[in-house]
Structure 1
Amino acid sequence: MSTAAADISKTRAWLMAARPQTLPAGTAPVIVGVGLAVHDGVFTLLPAAAALIGALLIQIATNFANDYFDAMKGTDEPDREGFTRVTAGGLIAPQQVKAAMVGTYTLALVVGLYLVAVGGVPILVVGLSSILAGLLYTGGPYPYGYYGLGDLFVFVYFGMIAVTGTYYVQAVATLDVGLFPIWIPPGTVPTDAVLASLAAAGLSTAILVVNNIRDIESDREAGKRTLAVILGYRWSRVEYVVLVALAYVVPVALWLLAAFSPFVLLPLLSLPLAISVTRTVTTERSGEALNPALERTGKLMAVHALLFAVGLSVPTVI
C-alpha cells in the first residue's frame, strides 16, 4: 500500500471514529439557543461561538469514548450492523482512540474556561457534568448507557441543557454581573428557552433511538440493555415517533401559548422529511435500512434547528 493510500485510510478511519452523522446532536441545540437569543435581543457572538465549539468537542469526544469503551467491554463485534467502529474493527489502536478521547475532552475544557468566566458556577457544573456523563455513558464500573439510561442523558444534555446553556451564556454576558457569577441571574434562563429546548431534546434522542433499534439483537447478545433492548421493537418505535412529534409540537406551542410570531412555525416545512424517515424507522430492522435512517434523522435535526432559529430570529431582524 502506498503512503498516500495509507494516509487516506487513516484519515477516513478517524472521520469514522468522530461519527459525523451524529454531530447535529451537538450543533443543532446551539443554533436554536442562538436563534432564541436573537429573538430576545441578547445575542452575543463570542459566547455563542464558544458554546458551539465546546458542544462539538464534547460530542466528538463522547463518540471516541463510546468507540473505545464498547470495544474494551467486548460489546462491539466486527460484524455488527451499524457503522464500523474503529477500535473493535482494528482500524485504529485502542490507545490512540483513548488518547484522542482525552485530548478532545481537554480541548473542550480549554474552551470551557472562557464560558465559565462568563457564566460562572452554573456553567462550571454543566461543563464538568457533561464530560463526566459522556465518559460514564459506556465507561466506568456502571456504564449507564448499558442500563437503559442513555436516552435520558441525551435528552437532558444534548437537548435541554445545550439550548438553555447556549442562551444563558449569551444573556448573562449582556448583564453587568461581572465575571464568574455564583448563581443564575434572573431572566437568563426564561421559560421560553426551556420550552424551545424540548424540540432539540426530542430529535437528539431520536438519533440515539434509531441507533439502538438497529442494534437491538447484537446489544441483547452482548448484555447491553439499552432502552431499545428493554422496550423491544414496537415500543422503541413508539418512542421515536413521540420524540419526533415533540419537535413539531414545540413551535406550535410557542406560537399559541407564548405569543411568538407565526415565523416560529417554519420548522413545519421539514415535516415531509420527518414523515419519510419515521416510516423507515417504524418498518425496518436491518442496518442496511437503519444506517441511512440514522443519517437522515441527523439531517432532519439540522434542518429543523436551522428553520427554528430563522423563525425565532426573523421578527427581530426585519
Structure 2
Amino acid sequence: MNNSLIKSLLLAARPKTLPASAGPVLLGLALAYRLESQINFLTATLTLLCALLLQVSTNLVNDYYDGIRGIDGEDRLGPQRMTGTGALSSSHVKKAFMATLMLSLLLGIYLMYVAKTPIIVIGLLSILFAYAYTGGPLPLSYFAMGEVLALVFFGPVAVWGTYYIQVLDIQSHLQTVLLVGLAPGFISAAIMAINNLRDRETDIKTKKRTLAILAGPKGARILPILFVLLATFIPIVHVSSFQENPRIMVATFISYFFFKTWNALAKEPIGPNFNNHLATTGKFLFLFCFTYSVMLISLSF
C-alpha cells in the first residue's frame, strides 16, 4: 500500500470527527467511577477503540455511498471526498469500511461476552446504523435522520453502554446516566446540524433531504445553536435533579469560550469557513465531556 493511498484513506476517515465518539466514552467511564467506583481498563480501552472504529466506518460509508450516488459535486463546500473526486477508487473505500466494521465487531465480541445481551444489542445496532446512515436502499441521512441518530448513538447509547460495560447492572443510576448522556448527544446533533447547514444549498439539488432543508434557511442556522444550548443545561439539570455537587456545572461554562463560533453560525455567510466551525464544535464536544468527566471523578476524592 503506497503512501498516497494511505493518506487518501486517512482523509476519507475524517479523523477530526473522532472526538464525537471519544467524548461520550470518557463521560461513561467517569460516571462509572463516580457512581460505582469501578473502572476496568481492558474493557474501557476496547470500548473506546470500538467507538472510534465505528465513527471511522460511518465516515467511510458516507464517502463511498455519497460518491457513487453523485451527491458530492464540484460545488461541495465540505472537505474533499475521496470517492466523489476519484482520489480513491470506490472499491478501495468499500474495502476500507468493510475492514473497519469487521474490526469493530471483532473487538466488540469480548465486550459482548463480558456484558451479554444489552451490549450485544447495542453493538449490533451500532454497526447496523453506521452502515445504514448512508448505505443501503434507504439511507437514513437522506431522510432528515442525521441529527436524531447523532443524538441517540453519540449520546445516551454511547454513555450508558460504556457505563454498563463497567458496572454490569441495568438499573444502576439509569436516569442519571441517560440524562448525562444527552449532553454529548446534543453536541453531536449540533455537529450534524452544522454539516447539513453548510451543505444545504448543494443538498437541495439532490434527492437528499436533511433537517436543514426542512427547517428553512433561518431554522437551519438556529438548530446547531439550540442543540449546543440544550447540552449546556444538562449539568445544571444533573445538579438540581440528583443533588449532585455544583462543581460539575463548570462544564457548562466551556461553551462561553466558543462564543465566536456560535456567533459565526448565526451570522456568517455560508462557505468553506464552516468546515472550521465544524471542527471547532468537535473540539468543544471533547472539551465539554473531558471537563464534565474530570469534575465527576474529582468528586470521588
TM-score, length-normalised on structure 1? 0.91
For 1:282, what is the secondary structure of its paired residue? helix
Aligned to 1:192: 176
What is the number of residues matched between the two proteins? 300
Residue 236 of structure 1: how far off its partner (Å): 2.0
1:286 CA drift (Å):
2.5
Identity over aligned pairs, percent:
35
Cα-to-partner distance string for 1:187-212 (whole Å, 9 max, x where unaligned)? 34621100100101001111111110
> Which secondary structure does the structure 1 equivalent of 2:126 belong to?
helix
Match for 1:145 among 118, 141, 145?
141
Match of 1:98 in 2: 94
Structure 2 gap segments, 5+ residues each: none
State the match for 1:129 in structure 2.
125
* Aligned counterpart, 1:305: 289
- Pick from 210, 216, 219: which aligns with 1:232? 216
What is the match of residue 181 of structure 1?
Answer: none
Query: Is the counterpart of residue 282 in structure 1 residue 278 in structure 2?
Result: no
Rounded to whole Å, the distance in 2 between the matches of 1:50 and 1:220 is 40
Q: Deviations over 1:215-262 (max 9, x none)?
A: 001111012101111112211222212210122101111112211112
Deviation at 1:130, TM superposition (A): 1.0
Match of 1:254 in 2: 238
CA contact under 8 A between 1:30 and 1:162: conserved in structure 2? yes
- 1:26 aligned to which of 21, 36, 41: 21
Is this contact kept in 2: 1:78–1:84, CA < 8 A? no
SS across alignment from 1:288:
coil
RMSD of the alignment, in Å? Answer: 1.5
Q: Is the 8 A contact 1:154 1:201 kept in 2?
A: yes
Contact 2:75 2:202 in 1 (8 A): no
Q: Which moved more, 1:85-94 or 1:234-243?
A: 234-243
1:161-180 aligned within 5 A: 161-172=157-168
Alignment of 1:8-47 (within 5 A): 9-40=4-35, 41-47=37-43
Question: Quick one: which amino acid aligns to residue 274 of structure 1?
Answer: F
1:197 partner letter: G
TM-score (norm 2): 0.96
Q: Distance between the aligned counterparts of 1:260 and 1:224, measured in 2? A: 43
Distance 1:286 1:237, change over 3 A: closer
Which of 189, 206, 211 matches 2:195?
A: 211
Is the CA contact (8 Å cut-off) linking 2:164 and 2:170 kept in structure 1? no
SS of aligned partner of 1:142: coil
